[in-house]
Amino acid sequence: MDVALRRKPMSEAEEDLSKIREGRDLSFFDLTSIDQVSLKDLALLYDVARRFRDYRTYKFSFNKGYSQVNAFFEASTRTQASFDLAAKQLSMDTTSVGSTNSSAKKGESFIDTVETLSAYNARAIVIRCSQAGAPEFVARHVAASIINAGDGWHEHPTQALLDALTMLDECASEDLSGRVVVVVGDIKHSRVFGSLVRILKKLNATIRVAAPETFLPDYVEKFGVSTSWSVEEAIEGADVIYALRVQEERGAKGDIPTLREYSKTFGISAKRLALAKPEAILMHPGPVMRDIDVHSALVARHPQSRILRQVENGMALRKALLWLMCDRADGATKSYELL
């Protein structure tokens, strides 16, 4: 039997956030792909995330009594830390499991692991794994809300959400019409690109990609992007330069002669950055391979770099997502079927 617990009166900060939310809910119960996110969802997420950002590390009680599990079966710094801290700042209890400390080492299946975690009445399970499509599959079979924190080469939805927030804030606009975003680097192996290109199309951006031919997936033009093997040509007149890391752990190093040669041809240097618009910004999802993806002097201190701003926005965006997904105003719950 469920027990209804009385909540404490809202603080001034919580009343402020509730006014901004205006009783709105997201259209989805799980987040496994950017394709699920409507423009109305984006507006709600960004309204709330911007306000959470203003309150920095203030501890809200919105999600008190709820639990979150971080199920990371691949390495992470930014995503795992920000989800964990965001949950704690919403008064959630958190725990973490991964490939080295779970029964997956004993042969337990992925679905059994996630169903077990959900059976602890976890409100949200954040999953990073090497199998494309796995978060979407398990979302259909558990009560907990599933958030895809990166599945193989497929997608990384919350990275795209925070990246778009960073771009929109910089442009002081509700969309990216007339803006040119250039993505440079390992497109083929990047789940970040899989989500980024989807959200940029929703926001009407013009997208260019620059990469060695071996880093371009087949039929990449079907995403509605223009391609170039010349990074200088692609960057000229751009509003945003978005560098991607060479995904060595996914075999990308075998697609180029050497990292040094790649850096000389496609690494973002001050000289190449100068080809973009004077007010252009430099972005990177991290981790940055200094002097490979981006020249070291441009990473954190350069006035056009927004790499650390992306990190800050990631915390605020994930906090907004967790509040809106776990504490629905309409009280609705997701439907699912145990496997």
Cα–Cα distances in angstroms (integers) from residue 291 to residues 246, 261, 314, in the given order? 12, 11, 24
Instruction: Return the pLDDT at 137.
Output: 97
Sequence-distant (≥ 6) Cβ neighbours of residue 15 within 8 angstroms: none
Q: Strand 206-210 relative to strand 180-184: parallel, antiparallel, unpaired? A: parallel
Rg of the chain taking only CA atoms, in angstroms: 20
What pLDDT, on a 0 to 100 scale, did the predictor assign at position 104?
Answer: 78
How many residues comprise the chain?
Answer: 339
Residue-level pLDDT at 21 = 98
Other beta carbons within 10 angstroms of residue 319's beta carbon come to 27
Q: What is the DSSP letter of 136?
A: H
Q: Give CATH 3.40.50.1370 domain extents, the chain.
A: 13-152+313-326, 157-298
Question: Kind and range of the H or E element at 192?
Answer: helix 191-202
Domain spanning 13-152+313-326: CATH 3.30.413.10: no
Q: What is the pLDDT of residue 254?
A: 64
How many C-beta neighbours within 10 Å does residue 115 have? 18
pTM score: 0.95
Alpha carbons 124 and 194: distance in angstroms, whole number: 23
The secondary structure of residue 102, as a DSSP letter, is S
Q: What is the pLDDT along the chain (339 residues), one digit of tens a residue?
A: 566 666 779 999 999 999 999 999 999 999 999 999 999 999 999 999 999 999 999 999 999 999 999 999 998 999 999 999 999 999 999 999 987 888 877 888 989 999 999 999 999 999 999 999 999 999 999 999 999 999 999 999 999 999 999 999 999 999 999 999 999 999 999 999 999 999 999 999 999 999 999 999 888 999 999 999 999 999 999 999 999 999 777 665 667 778 889 999 999 999 999 999 999 999 999 999 999 999 998 998 999 999 999 999 999 999 999 999 999 999 999 999 988
Contacts of 282 (CB under 8 A, 6+ apart): 241, 243, 268, 273, 294, 298, 302, 304, 305, 306, 307
pLDDT for residue 334: 94
Please list, in sequence order, all residues whose beta carbon lies within 8 angstroms of the beta carbon of residue 258, skipping any fewer than 6 positions away: none
Which overall architecture, per CATH, does domain 157-298 show? 3-Layer(aba) Sandwich (3.40)
pLDDT of residue 136: 97
